């Protein structure tokens, strides 16, 4: 059996493991209302239609476990999180995108958003549990995105919608000076580091 790599070798450049497990977000924690909550998939869907899941429908999707570290661009990393949730691949089969959709916008409550490439989306999880417990309200209850290989601002808490996109557009932080792709292993922190092709103008 291969050993789990030690934490040091799992830390991208410039990151550190803090004491405790910080919670960080912009704005306040929303209240979950199961009767009115919906999760929509819209934009460049194969059918051209928007699809909305109610909470019971979403909760009935198959779930998997994913163990992953996450890296905040402010430099702390939370190691070895055990996420459980719906893999994006399940959503892609339930609501297929149009073949020309190459990008995805993840939408949280209050209009928080983050854009990722379709290839990043395929590796994402819609987490409903962390470390064998339902997500805490401040961690994104009832559903948060987990995009394990990109900076954590892309892991949108209180996720409410997924928009398939043909053309790339910047999300909340990408529009405020952060890198369009945000790969922590390449330290893609800020938009001034972008190379041609990394993002929309």
Ligand X SMILES: Nc1nc2c(c(=O)[nH]1)N[C@H]1C(S)=C(S)[C@@H](COP(=O)(O)O)O[C@H]1N2
Using CA atoms, how far residue 124 sits from 83, 119, 146, 154, 190, in Å, is 11, 9, 6, 10, 22
Residue 127 DSSP SS3? strand
The contacts found for 136-143 with CB under 8 angstroms, 24 or more apart, are: 137/29, 137/32, 138/23, 138/25, 138/29, 139/23, 141/32, 142/32, 142/34, 142/37, 142/55, 143/39, 143/58, 143/85
Report whether the peptide linkage leading into residue 156 is cis, meaning its omega lies within 30 degrees of zero: no
Residue among 14, 22, 134, 177 that touches ligand X (CB under 6 A) = 22
112 binds ligand X (CB under 6 A): yes
34 binds ligand X (CB under 6 A): no
Residue among 7, 18, 24, 111 that touches ligand X (CB under 6 A) = 24
Residue numbers 40-59 binding ligand X by CB under 6 A: none
**Binding positions for Mo ion, rule: CB under 5 A:** 72, 152-153
101 binds ligand X (CB under 6 A): no
Stretch that binds ligand X, among 8-16, 50-58, 89-97, 156-164 (CB under 6 A): 156-164
Residue among 11, 29, 59, 72 that touches ligand X (CB under 6 A) = 72
Q: Say which residues have a Cβ less than 8 Å from residue 9's Cβ, sequence separation at least 6.
A: none
Least distance (Å) between residue 158 CB and ligand X: 5
Per-residue b/e over 78-108, b at no fewer than 16 CB within 10 Å? beebebbbbbbebbbeebebeeebbbbbbbb
Stretch that binds ligand X, among 32-40, 60-68, 152-160, 187-195 (CB under 6 A): 152-160
Least distance (Å) between residue 48 CB and ligand X: 28
Measured from the CB atom, the residue of 26 and 185 that comes closer to ligand X is 26
Least distance (Å) between residue 130 CB and ligand X: 8
Measured from the CB atom, the residue of 39 and 83 that comes closer to Mo ion is 83
Measured from the CB atom, the residue of 91 and 161 that comes closer to ligand X is 161
Residues that bind ligand X (CB under 6 A): 22-26, 72, 108, 112, 139, 152-153, 155-158
């Amino acid at each position: 059996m291969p050993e789990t790599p030690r934490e040091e070798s799992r830390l991208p450049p410039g990151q550190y493991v803090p004491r405790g497990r910080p919670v960080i977000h912009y704005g306040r924690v929303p209240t979950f209302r199961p009767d009115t909550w919906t999760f929509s998939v819209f934009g460049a869907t194969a059918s051209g239609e928007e699809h909305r899941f109610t909470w019971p429908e979403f909760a009935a999707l198959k779930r998997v476990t994913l163990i992953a570290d996450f890296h905040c661009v402010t430099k702390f990393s939370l190691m070895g999180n055990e996420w459980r949730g719906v893999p994006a691949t399940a959503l892609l089969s339930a609501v297929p995108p149009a073949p020309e959709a190459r990008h995805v916008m993840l939408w949280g409550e209050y209009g928080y958003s983050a854009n990722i490439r379709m290839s990043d989306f395929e590796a994402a999880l819609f987490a409903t549990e962390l470390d064998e417990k339902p997500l805490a309200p401040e961690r994104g209850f009832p559903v948060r995105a987990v995009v394990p290989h990109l900076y954590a601002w892309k892991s949108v808490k209180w996720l409410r919608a997924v928009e398939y996109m043909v053309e790339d557009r910047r999300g909340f932080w990408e529009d405020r000076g952060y890198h369009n792709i945000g790969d922590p292993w390449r330290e893609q922190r800020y938009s001034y580091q972008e190379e041609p092709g990394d993002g929309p103008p």
